[in-house]
């Protein structure tokens, strides 16, 4: 199964992708996680991406298209994947289409800007493996420590309130039009964010006919 998760930053795409990849037994590909790893490792891609990410702006399409094309060519993607945070622009969606990729479904998680702003202030991510947590909704077993790899949990620089505002504006302008793009192709499944992570997973799985 080839799946795209759409939704504003902080909609819970990363958290849901982690659950879905276990349920569906396919990897999650997050361009955000790939870029953060590239920055940490000081690669040329990381150097190109950093200033855009810190400002809450999109990394240029040609960088993203290069990153995602390379990643999807790896053997673990053979049986399908869940895309988290990509495509984020019409140009990226067109590039995937031109590469001959046919998706089974595009799930858009719907949530208000207000709920997102509240939620982002509590978000923490693992410095080591990129797993995401929330101080209230998805707390780690031990405060500040990743359950999966034991590395430190940090607040992302782009989760600061001013940057969140910028990222939401970018989402509405650049990414939201993808809903129409995929609706026209009969692939869009919109689901409402639910009070708990588990309930949101359930509505997503139901929308996928599982
Ligand atoms: P995320 O972890 O998906 O919220 O991504 C964090 C940041 O990485 C975004 O705010 C962008 O600056 C950059 N980024 C990740 N994926 C993309 C993409 N598909 N297109 C452009 N920028 C991206």
- What string of pLDDT tens digits covers the 210 residues of the chain? 999 999 999 899 999 999 999 999 999 999 999 999 999 999 999 999 999 999 889 999 999 999 999 999 999 999 999 999 999 999 999 999 999 999 999 999 999 999 999 888 899 999 999 898 999 888 999 999 999 999 999 998 888 888 999 999 999 999 999 999 999 999 999 999 999 999 999 999 999 998
Q: Is 31 in the pocket of ligand 1 (CB under 6 A)?
A: yes
**34-41 contacts: CB < 8 A, separation 24 or more?**
34/67, 34/71, 35/59, 35/67, 36/130, 37/130, 38/67
Bridge partners (DSSP) listed for residue 107? 5, 189
Pocket test for ligand 1, best of 4, 62, 88 (most atoms within 8 A of CB): 88
Expressed in angstroms and rounded, the spacing between residue 85 Cα and the centre of ligand 1 is 6
What pTM was computed for the model? 0.89
Tokens for 191, please give them.
């689901």
Q: Is 88 in the pocket of ligand 1 (CB under 6 A)?
A: yes
């Amino acid at each position: 199964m080839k799946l795209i998760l759409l939704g504003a930053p902080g909609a819970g795409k990363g958290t849901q992708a982690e659950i879905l990849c276990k349920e569906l037994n396919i990897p999650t590909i997050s361009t955000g996680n790939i870029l953060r790893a590239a920055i940490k490792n000081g690669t040329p891609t990381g150097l190109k991406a950093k200033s855009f990410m810190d400002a809450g702006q999109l990394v240029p399409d040609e960088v993203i298209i290069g990153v995602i094309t390379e990643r999807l060519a790896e053997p673990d993607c053979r049986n399908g994947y869940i895309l988290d945070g990509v495509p984020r622009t019409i140009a990226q969606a067109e590039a995937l289409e031109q590469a001959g990729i046919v998706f089974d479904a595009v799930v858009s998680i719907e949530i208000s800007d207000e709920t997102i702003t509240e939620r982002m202030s509590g978000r923490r991510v693992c410095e080591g493996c990129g797993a995401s947590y929330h101080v209230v909704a998805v707390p780690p077993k031990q405060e500040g420590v990743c359950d999966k790899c034991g590395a430190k949990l940090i607040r992302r620089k782009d989760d600061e309130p001013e940057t969140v505002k910028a990222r939401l504006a970018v989402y509405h302008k650049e990414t939201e039009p993808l809903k129409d793009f995929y609706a026209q192709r009969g692939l869009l499944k919109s689901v409402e964010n639910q009070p708990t992570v588990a309930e949101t997973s359930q509505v997503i799985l139901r929308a996928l006919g599982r």
